[in-house]
Amino acid sequence: MSDAGDRDRNEHGQFADRIPPEEALAVFESRDDRARPLTAGDIADALDCSRRTAHNKLGELTERGLLRTRKVGARSRVWWTPLEESGSVDDTTRRPAATDAAYDVDLPGTGKRLERRREALLAAYDYLSDHPEAKKADFLRDVYPDYRAEFESAEGWWNAIQPALREMPGVDPPKERGHIWHYLGGD
């Protein structure tokens, strides 16, 4: 890494940001194996910067929808460039942050069952974004029948989906003893 004395500073004496996020994106595009996800450490090594700087650049690119990210351990995360979307309504209207969040929350099951449950969570999320005020009964009436996700009952479905829905971006869950879920946007 370069010596801190060589770096430019702004009018407040702070180090000037010398690495635009596009340089981090170029690391993804210049690799031979474009399918392999990268870590913040990989980007830091390629750009000769700190992991924190690399993480900040990756976060900005993710927010702009140019990268996707996923937790892969308690303190680990990887990033990748998304493939072209399949063209289904859900894939083209949902922002990448919502899909990424669905992979970060805990849902019961493994394999195909877990995938169906993620689809159910995303369907509930899409429903809330289309209906910014909704009650449990609305989800059970309008989402559950098409996205049962191998749950034996609507109540079992709700007991798994609602804690995960609380963790999705832009969701404002009901307050204690409240019944109305709100979508605040900004995923």
Note the pLDDT tens digit of each residue in 17-63. Answer: 678 888 888 988 888 887 788 999 999 999 888 888 888 888 888 88
pLDDT at position 88 is 41
Structure-model confidence comparison of residues 91 and 100, the more confident one: 100
Task: pLDDT band for 70, please (50, 70, 90 cuts).
Answer: confident
DSSP character for 171?
Answer: E
Q: In this predicted model, what pLDDT tens digit does every residue of 107-157 receive, in sequence order?
A: 999 989 999 999 999 999 999 988 889 999 999 999 999 999 999 999 999
| More confident: 1 or 110 | 110
DSSP state of 34: T
Q: Indicate the domain borders of the chain.
A: 4-80, 89-183
DSSP 68: E
**Running DSSP on this structure, what letter comes out for residue 161?**
H
> Which CATH number applies to 4-80?
1.10.10.10
Longest Cα separation, the chain:
64
The reported pLDDT for the residue numbered 86 is 39
Structure confidence at residue 5 (pLDDT): 55
Q: How many CB atoms within 10 Å of residue 163?
A: 13
pTM: 0.52
Same fold, 4-80 and 89-183: yes
Comparison of pLDDT for 134 and 85, the residue scoring more: 134
| pLDDT in the model for residue 138 | 94
Interatomic CA distance for residues 140 and 174, integer angstroms: 16
The answer to whether 24 touches 61, Cβ cutoff 8 Å, is: yes
Whole-angstrom Cα distance, residue 139 to residue 26? 42
Question: CATH classification of 89-183, choosing from 1.20.120, 3.30.70, 1.10.10, 1.10.8?
Answer: 1.10.10
